[in-house]
Amino acid sequence: MFRRLPEIETALNAAGHTVSFTIDGRPASARAGDSVTAALLANGVTACRTTPVSGAARGPYCMMGVCFDCLVTIDGTGNRQGCQVRVAPGMAVETQNGKREVER
């Protein structure tokens, strides 16, 4: 659904700035500097969570820290705003099913 612009893709590939991380335990890669949300979208993950009360699927909307729809679990902490965190090597990103757990 989302694709990087070809010229950026080419430039980044040439520079070799690739970051390896995981999405729900599966290996994935992103570009250095991507937000977690951008990295998820680039990997085809458009629905990153379900809502805590009705369970409806949600995906990133504003990409600038306002809408809180891009919440995911990052390295074991729930309800992180994916668009406000840069993806890092080895990062464990998990889509979030309903309410966060108090202990993670």
Partner 1 sequence: MTQPSRGGEYDVAVIGGGLVGSAMAWGLARAGQTVAMLDEGDIAVRPSRGNFALVWVQGKGLGMPEYAGWTKKSSDDWSGFADLLREQTGLDVAYRRPGGFMPMLSEEDLQARANTMMRLHNQPDMIRYPYEVMDRETLRKELPFIGPDVVGGTYCPLDGHCNSLRLLRTLHKGIGLLGVDYRPNHRVERIEHRDGGFRMTTAGGEVRAGKIVLAAGHDGARLAPMVGLSAPVRPQRGHVIVTEKTAPFLHHPTVYVRQTDEGGVMIGDSFEEVGFDTTLQPGISSAIAERAIRFFPLLGKLNVVRSWAALRVLTPDGFPIYEESKTAPGAFVATCHSGVTLAANHALTLAPLIAAGGLGDSFTPFSARRFHVPQAA
* C-alpha–C-alpha distance, residues 18 and 92, integer Å: 16
Q: By the 8 A CB rule, do 21 and 90 touch?
A: yes
Measured in degrees and rounded to the nearest 5, phi and psi for residue 96 equal: -115, 125
Kind of pairing, strands 71-74 and 77-81?
Answer: antiparallel
Summarize as ranges the residues that interact with partner 1 (CB under 8 A): 52-53, 77, 79, 98-103
The residue among 44 and 65 lying less far from partner 1, judged by its C-beta, is 65
Distance in angstroms between the alpha carbons of the first and the last residue of the chain = 30
State which residue, 4 or 58, has the beta carbon closest to partner 1. Answer: 58
Residue 87 CB, nearest distance to partner 1 (Å)?
21
By beta-carbon proximity to partner 1, the closer residue of 38 and 71 is 71
Residues 2/8, Cβ–Cβ less than 8 Å = no
For partner 1, the closer of residues 1 and 56 by Cβ is: 56
Q: How far is the CB of 97 from partner 1 (least distance, A)?
A: 10
**Shortest distance in whole angstroms from residue 52 CB to partner 1:** 4
- Minimum Å gap between C-beta 49 and partner 1 is 12
